Amino acid sequence: MLMNIFAFAEGVDANYGKIAGTVKTTDGKPAADVTVTIKELNKATATKENGTYLFQNVKPGTYTIVVTLVGSKTEQLTVTVSAGKLSNADFNLSETASQLKEVVISTGKTLNNTKATLDKAGIRPLDLPQSTGVVSSQVIQDQQINRLGDAVRNVSGVSLTQTRGGVGETFTARGYSIGIGGGSGSIFKNGVLTNTAGFPEAATLESVEILKGSSALMYGNVSGGLIINMVTKKPKFEYGGEVSMRVGSYSAYKPVVDVYGPISNNIAFRVIGVYENDGSYRNHVKTERVYANPSFLFNLGKSTTLLVEGDFLKSNLTPDWGVGSLNNGQAINTTVPRSQFINTNWAYSHMDQYSGMATLNHSFSDTWKLNAILSTQSTKIDSYGSSLPNNTAANGDWNRGLQRANTLENNYTGQVNLTGRFNTGFLGHQLLVGTDVTKVNNQTNAYSVNGKNISTYAYDKINIIDLNKFVPRTDIPNAVDTALTHAPVYRFGAYIQDLMTITSKLKLLAGVRWSWQQTSQTTIDFLQKGTTGLGTAKTKYDRAFSPKVSLIYQPIPTSSIYASYSSNFIVNTGTDINGRGLDPSTVNQYEAGIKNEFFNGKLSANLSVYRIINSNLSIADPNNTAFRMLNGETTSDGFEVDVTGNFTRDFYFILGYGYNNARYTNGTGLKGSPLEGERLVINPKQTANATAFYTFHNYALRGFKVGASVFYTGERLAGYNNTVGQTQNYSRLLPVGGFATLDLSAGYTYHKLSILAQVSNITNTFNYLIHDNYSVTPIPPRQFLTTVAYKF
């Protein structure tokens, strides 16, 4: 079969011809993403960045080629196709390049007509039986987004948390969280798993995509709650760019340079450079970052493109433990000012990150396409400061220890995806076949101070309520490398998925993935002794199948009702009482939803409901808590609503609401505090978001823009969930109330110059972000931010 596919793709059959051409604007610029259709065959494609398009394997005959772009005049040509020959049909639109951009903006897409590239099969949103969210470039620009967390709060049911020390962002949805590591996280850049320590740079983002629920079929061992994909800005075959300066409260400033254009007819480039220097509402906390992102696009013929991207990020952050907790984690320290800082005054976290990626796209025909990606990323983190504030006394006294980390994570990934459309009898097929492979190698240093393991070293004593009670140390003890641990992990997956059209109203999606993971036994270099040893845990192999099946009913072309079952898996650590490594936990997910388009796609309204059950959760063995067993259970129920509208070029809005009840449904006999029914930490029960922006186009106010955004995060639990066999006689849970913030924006654009100002948290709401430990950090107070930009 594959031989027939490739023979067909390369046009070996001399009984067929081809149609190709270029679409340009009146000023000679290439027009990208314009729809080109063979009217008689109802076949369609879109132009590439250089304005070219191609139809292969067209039967001889006379056809009408139609070029359409919503809001623009339709153009058409008649072309005759001969067997074994290439027919040409070029178009010139009636708009200039700048006018075309205005047309695209004025017909801005909403949720159900914006494809998420995370879905490797290219399924249109109304056919995709899964809840999604897309944060567009317009929203990123209007909200002056600086961090990934600023973007994802525009998607229902997604909430922001922080990593330990506040030097990175993690997120939760549907009762499950995602981390930042390239080996264990669920955050992607252009479809490739990436490490987001030190915060990814938002200046290079074209959009942010989110798939909620299980995406294990496509990506293997990822979170069951959500995955995030950062889509970066790409090269263009037209000269242009932007320079901007963003300034804000606490002496923040951030210049950005973005330049793009053609190098030749078939090569385009883009270079983005950023410098950021921020103070903070938190004492002693500061940020300094340097970022560079060069990329090149090669057109290797009309059917093939190669995109080569690289980036470098140097980030210097201050690790911040927040306000700390009292009485060994029984209460949050909420009596101190928002600015109070309890880490050492010299604490630091330095990160250097490099990445490179090559993406090849090839069209065998207008129905069969190949995508191949190779990437590598290196993340080096060097940090030093106090240890966790989890052993404070009830009166706030804290014997501060030290924590030193020097880690290196190297990631190597590759994936290949083949997509195609074909018919078998009455069934239409949209097929995806793919495979991916990943190697992650982590290196971690261990340290001693004055001949003692750093974890046992007593640095000084402070009081986290009254910092004047004791005199803190200010010197930096010399931490000596004692060991270097190597921990390699290998992952492989193969998957197949088919979206079958049974009738014009009924579709079935089915697929399965097989995943294999090897967690190798660690090797340890004892640096002072000059010897090498092995870790205690033996090499572990995990295997799992991840099926998905969905039924989609579309009573009318603009409405879709779906019901779906899928599963994902969680790789477990530890051994059972017999010394055997635990199998992966299988998580079953059930989702139903309805997606609707109104007013010719200008309004999207979606609703989804779900239940997620992990019925073989890894918990401590009640008979011997040093071992683990697959006998626990969690259940997550909820629903989400998303409404997006873009009625005119003047006005758009985003509305979202999410409800989630994630809790233990089987506690297997917890001592002290019953685990049955206990809510999972970090996850809020409710989230909501609303954004609206309006741009004036009448004569008196032409160029002025106003906007507002409201974000709500409901009550949550900080601390840790209780455990089977715990020894303390108190709950480890720390309740945190809900909060809402309001941001207001106003701006003005005159020709190529623009200014946009924002006041965030205008009501000066006080609340907290949760870490993954016994501490919380106050959210930012009222702040001012403005961006001045010049486009050329």
DSSP state of 575: B
pTM for the predicted model, two decimal places = 0.88
Least confident span in 15-29, 75-89, 176-190, 319-333: 176-190
- Confidence category of residue 491, pLDDT binned at 50, 70, 90: very high
Q: What is the pLDDT of residue 31?
A: 83
Summarised one tens digit per residue, pLDDT across range 709-741 is: 999 999 999 988 888 777 777 888 899 999 999
What value does the mean pLDDT take over residues 354-359? 96
Summarised one tens digit per residue, pLDDT across range 595-639 is: 999 887 889 999 999 999 998 888 888 788 888 888 888 999 999
Summarised one tens digit per residue, pLDDT across range 109-135 is: 678 777 778 888 889 899 999 999 999
Q: How far apart are CA 92 and CA 23, in angstroms?
A: 6
How many CA within 13 A on the CB side of residue 450?
8
Q: Would you call 160 exposed, middle or buried from its count of C-beta atoms within 10 A (0-12, 13-18, 19+)?
A: buried
The rounded Cα 470 to chain-centroid distance in angstroms is 43
Q: Which of 96, 124, 149 is the last residue of a domain?
A: 96
What value does the mean pLDDT take over residues 332-358? 94
Q: What is the pLDDT of residue 167?
A: 85
Higher pLDDT, 171 or 1: 171
Q: What is the pLDDT of residue 677?
A: 85
Q: Which of 44, 78, 96 is the last residue of a domain?
A: 96
Strands 91-92 and 17-24: parallel
- Confidence category of residue 762, pLDDT binned at 50, 70, 90: very high
Give the Cα-Cα-Cα angle 451, 284, 781 (nearest 5 degrees). Answer: 140
* 6 pLDDT higher than 60: no
Within a domain: residue 219?
Answer: no
* 84 pLDDT higher than 50: yes
Q: What is the pLDDT of residue 2?
A: 33
The answer to whether 381 touches 394, Cβ cutoff 8 Å, is no
Q: How many domains would you assign to the chain?
A: 2
Q: How far apart are CA 285 and CA 343, in angstroms?
A: 10
In angstroms, the first-to-last Cα distance of the chain is: 50
- Confidence category of residue 50, pLDDT binned at 50, 70, 90: confident
Within a domain: residue 212?
Answer: no
Distances (CA, A) of 277 to 143, 166, 169, 780: 19, 17, 19, 17
Please report, for the domain that includes residue 657, its CATH number: 2.40.170.20
Least confident span in 47-51, 300-304, 788-792: 47-51
Within a domain: residue 66?
Answer: yes
Closest by CA position to 481, among listed 422, 535, 527: 527
* 276 pLDDT higher than 60: yes
DSSP output for 138-191: HHHHHTT--SHHHHHTTSTT-EEEE-GGGSSEEEEETTEEE-S-TTT--EEETT
- Average per-residue pLDDT for the chain: 89
Closest by CA position to 497, among listed 506, 488, 508, 484: 508
Give the Cα-Cα-Cα angle 189, 191, 197 (nearest 5 degrees). Answer: 30
Q: What is the pLDDT of residue 548?
A: 97
Closest by CA position to 159, among listed 498, 762, 658: 658
The answer to whether 188 touches 230, Cβ cutoff 8 Å, is yes
What value does the mean pLDDT take over residues 573-601? 90
Q: How far apart are CA 140 and CA 153, in angstroms?
A: 12
CB atoms within 10 A of CB 288: 14
Within a domain: residue 112?
Answer: no
Within a domain: residue 501?
Answer: yes
Please report, for the domain that includes residue 37, its CATH number: 2.60.40.1120
The beta-strand segments (E) located in 339-386 are 348-363, 368-386
Tell me which residue range forms the domain holding 82: 2-96
- Confidence category of residue 5, pLDDT binned at 50, 70, 90: very low
Q: What is the pLDDT of residue 7?
A: 34
Q: Would you call 41 exposed, middle or buried from its count of C-beta atoms within 10 A (0-12, 13-18, 19+)?
A: middle
Higher pLDDT, 406 or 57: 406
What value does the mean pLDDT take over residues 761-777? 90
Residues of the chain with pLDDT > 90, as a percent, come to: 66
Tokens 């900080």, residue located:
718
Least confident span in 74-88, 535-549, 707-721: 74-88
The answer to whether 169 touches 160, Cβ cutoff 8 Å, is yes
Q: What is the pLDDT of residue 165?
A: 81
Q: How far apart are CA 259 and CA 442, in angstroms?
A: 35
Within a domain: residue 689?
Answer: yes
Least confident span in 27-36, 283-292, 647-656: 27-36
Q: How far apart are CA 146 and CA 201, in angstroms?
A: 7
Within a domain: residue 344?
Answer: yes
Within a domain: residue 708?
Answer: yes
Closest by CA position to 217, among listed 128, 114, 307: 128
CB under 8 Å to 602, separation ≥6 — which residues?
A: 110, 645, 646, 647
Q: Which of 79, 96, 113 is the last residue of a domain?
A: 96
Rg of the chain, C-alpha, whole Å: 28
